[in-house]
Amino acid sequence: MVRPATRAGRIERRIARAERGPADAVDAGPSRRGRRSTPYLLVGPGVAWLVLLFVVPLGSLLVTSLKTGSFAEGFETAVRLRNYSDALSESWEAIKRSFVFALVATLAAAAIGYPLAYVIAFRGGRYKGLLLGLVVLPFFTSFLMRTLAWKTILSDSGTLNTTVDRLHLFGALEFLRLVPEGSDRLLQTNIAVIGGLTYNFLPFMVLPIYVSLEKIDRRLVEAARDLYSNAFRAFRKVVLPLSIPGVMAGSLLTFIPAAGDFVNAELLGGPQQTMVGNRIQSRFFEQVDYPAAASLSFVLMALILIGVLLYARLLGTEELTG
Amino acid sequence: MTVLRRLAPRLLDAWAGVALLYLFTPIFVIVAFSFNDTGRFNLIWQGFSLDAWKQWTDSEPLTDALTLSIKVAAVSTLAATVLGSLIALALVRHRFTGSGVTNLLLVLPLTTPEVVLGSSLLSLFIDLGVSRGFWTIVVAHTLFCVSYVAVTVKARIRGFDWTLEDAAMDLGAAPLRTFRLVTFPLILPGIVAAALLSFALSIDDFIITFFNSGNEQTFPLYIYAQQRRGLGPEVNVVATLVLVVSFGLSIASVVVQRLRARPA
């Protein structure tokens, strides 16, 4: 699987390079006219902004996560590592659930999104732009309204719920642990939350896959069809490997927000669907236990970072940072 | 096998159709329920009515929230577009030490969950004793929009023919004039696209805003606060309007770009 991928990739890149010609070579070189300080003047304000409001807050979060005390008595700076072990033991179920939900949602988004991106890129023809617009259009309305619309669609007296019930599909959902035992409703179950996550982050999966499929040289696909004499094998040997960067980027863009989300769990789920985002939110605003909330945030970020690094190690980082 | 081969493309098309239907079902619900003849609990279809469309501006908290959202989105889009475009320009046009770190710094906020971004900013604001309100929301939105703008502009202007700049300067144009007459028109479509994206992201952001809003209520926060008590159809009217306006804007930007691309 790996060797044809790199071979096809290499050919692809060579064709692209030959086509781009010398203009791009100039682009890659350093600016001939600009002074040396120019890039720093351009980058300076934005980088200062990001350091001040991304790096510094993370430092503040780290300091908060190690504090002692309570809201009533005041928090004091300390190095209380117990905040972390407490956060892990108290919210372990929620953390685990977040990662499982996000993983299932990512797989579902890929299963729905890949064929959709493929059809648009390879079979869209004149309607490519229109179809792409249709994929993005639903996301012009509010995220919360979309999620609440799902609440209406999944409601107990709704058509979907009664149809699932009439077709006796609840048994199958129960077997897949998507609804609890003996459930006859879709709302406040795993499948409602996972479905909501899949829906809300689907375009983040479709768009990168579409971009990577669109970049593939059509002559390469034709050559592969001639070579392998079978559309499926041509797809498996050439198109799929070349679209892996898009699938990777899409998976990260779906998984990360899904793992940290608390809106879907709150609006579509019940007490059995609490995710780590819900915990962080309630620790901050309901219990007003800042250190607990901060350490939980840090645990979430660390786990995601480890996951991303492992994933990148597994599949290569080349295309990850664009 | 041959039957399958002939069927496979049809199956793919059908699957894509089902996927599009999945994407649109909630949108149909949102739009349809803006015509529902109901009071505060807009959950079950009662009958067709235009009342909500006639009276949607009556609810002051709703229009206030919408106004706030638009203000926040305008200010943070402006700030993020300037900061982000400058970074993108530097990264594409110049090779410099620290460009790797800059790239990383741009991508990291995009790969950090929103709860972490939101809670870390809140933690900083608490540390500094800054009370949350309009400006903390703007600051928070600008933070994540800068990354989106820089990444979008970078992708759009990569591979341009920058020798045009050299040509302008060879013809005697000063650097600033070159920028105004050559560079800026060249990168403008990318910047406009990034600004539109940033506006859309800001106006719809919930999680980061939730952490840093204090007592202010943006449109998404209004929906969140109201949904427990029951959301009336007027909220669906606003959601539908937002959909129509942003769709119109994106169509307009595509049309403008097509017209400009066509030789006069």
Mean pLDDT of the region A286-312: 87
Contacts of A261 in chain B (CB under 8 A): 113-115, 207
Share of chain A above pLDDT 90, in %: 23
Q: Is the pLDDT of residue B263 over 70?
A: no
Contacts of B83 in chain A (CB under 8 A): 45-46, 49
Mean pLDDT of the region B42-49: 74
Q: Do A34 and B158 touch (CB under 8 A)?
A: no
Q: How many CB pairs under 8 A join A and B?
A: 264
Q: Do A277 and B239 touch (CB under 8 A)?
A: no
Confidence (pLDDT) at A182? 75
**Domains of chain A by residue range:** 81-315
Q: Is the pLDDT of residue A286 over 70?
A: yes
Q: Is the pLDDT of residue A223 over 90?
A: no
**Pairwise CA distance, residues A108 & A196, whole Å:** 11
Considering only the beta carbons, identify the residue of A60, A112, A118 that sits closest to B12. A118
Between A227 and B78, residue with greater pLDDT? B78
- Burial class of residue B39 (count of CB atoms within 10 Å of its CB; 0-12, 13-18, 19+): exposed
For chain A, say whether B157 makes contact (Cβ under 8 Å).
no
Confidence (pLDDT) at A7? 54
* A298 close to A65: Cβ distance less than 8 angstroms: yes
Q: Is the pLDDT of residue A13 over 70?
A: no
- Burial class of residue A155 (count of CB atoms within 10 Å of its CB; 0-12, 13-18, 19+): middle
Interface pTM, i.e. ipTM: 0.84
A-chain residue closest to B1, CA distance: A230
- The B residues from 33 to 62 touching A (CB cutoff 8 Å) are 33, 43-44
Tokens of A247: 């699938």
Mean pLDDT of the region B95-106: 80
Share of chain A above pLDDT 70, in %: 86
- N-term to C-term CA, chain B: 53
- CA angle centred on A187, ends A185 and A191, rounded to 5°: 95
Q: Do A301 and B247 touch (CB under 8 A)?
A: no
Confidence (pLDDT) at B56? 76
Between A37 and A298, residue with greater pLDDT? A298
Mean pLDDT of the region A306-314: 81
Q: Where residue A209 falls among pLDDT bands split at 50, 70, 90?
A: very high
For chain A, say whether B120 makes contact (Cβ under 8 Å).
yes
State how far residue B111 is from chain A, nearest Cα, in angstroms. 7
Range in A200-204, A247-251, A316-320, B22-26 the model is least confident about: A316-320
State the DSSP H helix or E strand holding residue A76, giving kind and residue range, or none if neither. strand A74-76
Confidence (pLDDT) at A71? 75
Considering only the beta carbons, identify the residue of A45, A143, A290 that sits closest to B86. A45
- The B residues from 203 to 232 touching A (CB cutoff 8 Å) are 204, 206-207, 210-211, 219-220, 223-224, 227, 231
Range in A194-208, B34-48, B118-132, B215-229 the model is least confident about: B34-48
pTM of the model: 0.84
Range in A21-25, A246-250, A267-271 the model is least confident about: A21-25
Tokens of B128: 């500094």
Mean pLDDT of the region B13-18: 90
**Pairwise CA distance, residues A260 & A281, whole Å:** 11
Q: Is the pLDDT of residue A179 over 50?
A: yes
Mean pLDDT of the region A104-115: 94
Considering only the beta carbons, identify the residue of B104, B119, B121 that sits closest to A293. B119
For chain A, say whether B30 makes contact (Cβ under 8 Å).
yes
**Pairwise CA distance, residues A30 & A22, whole Å:** 14
For B113-161, the DSSP string reads -HHHHHHHHHHHHHHHTPPPSHHHHHHHHHHHHHHHHHHHHHHHHTT--
Confidence (pLDDT) at B76? 94
Q: Is the pLDDT of residue A24 over 60?
A: no
Total Cβ atoms within 10 A of residue A169: 12
Confidence (pLDDT) at A300? 92
Task: Specify the 3-state DSSP secondary structure of B205.
Answer: coil
Q: Is the pLDDT of residue A193 over 90?
A: yes
Tokens of B8: 């496979």
- The B residues from 126 to 145 touching A (CB cutoff 8 Å) are 126-127, 139-140, 142-143
Mean pLDDT of the region B80-84: 90
SS3 content of chain B, % helix, strand, coil (to 5): 80, 0, 20
Q: Exposed e or buried b for every residue in A275-307, given b needs 16+ CB within 10 A?
A: bbbbbbbbbbeeeebbbbbbbbbbbbbeebeeb
Q: Where residue A322 falls among pLDDT bands split at 50, 70, 90?
A: very low
Considering only the beta carbons, identify the residue of B90, B165, B175 that sits closest to A43. B90
Q: Do B27 and A135 touch (CB under 8 A)?
A: no
pLDDT in tens, B152-202: 888 877 777 778 888 888 888 888 888 888 888 888 888 888 888 888 889
Choose from A77, A145, A298 for mutation: most chain B CBs within 10 A: A145
* A261 close to A275: Cβ distance less than 8 angstroms: yes
Q: Do A149 and B30 touch (CB under 8 A)?
A: yes
Between A85 and A316, residue with greater pLDDT? A85
Instruction: Calculate the CA dihedral of residues A65, A66, A70, A75 and round it to 10 degrees.
Output: -100
Q: Do B247 and A23 touch (CB under 8 A)?
A: no
Q: Is the pLDDT of residue A29 over 70?
A: no
Q: Where residue B39 falls among pLDDT bands split at 50, 70, 90?
A: low
Q: Do A141 and B240 touch (CB under 8 A)?
A: yes
Confidence (pLDDT) at A2? 39
Between B40 and A39, residue with greater pLDDT? A39
What are the structural domains of chain B?
Answer: 60-231 (1.10.3720.10)
Considering only the beta carbons, identify the residue of B99, B116, B162 that sits closest to A26. B162
Considering only the beta carbons, identify the residue of A34, A133, A290 that sits closest to B126. A290
- Average pLDDT value over all residues in chain B: 84
* B157 close to B138: Cβ distance less than 8 angstroms: no
Considering only the beta carbons, identify the residue of A30, A36, A119 that sits closest to B12. A119
Q: Is the pLDDT of residue A21 over 90?
A: no
Q: Is the pLDDT of residue A12 over 60?
A: no
Share of chain B above pLDDT 70, in %: 94
Q: Which fold has domain A81-315?
A: MetI-like fold (1.10.3720)
For chain A, say whether B92 makes contact (Cβ under 8 Å).
yes
Range in A150-154, A262-266, B42-46, B65-69 the model is least confident about: B42-46
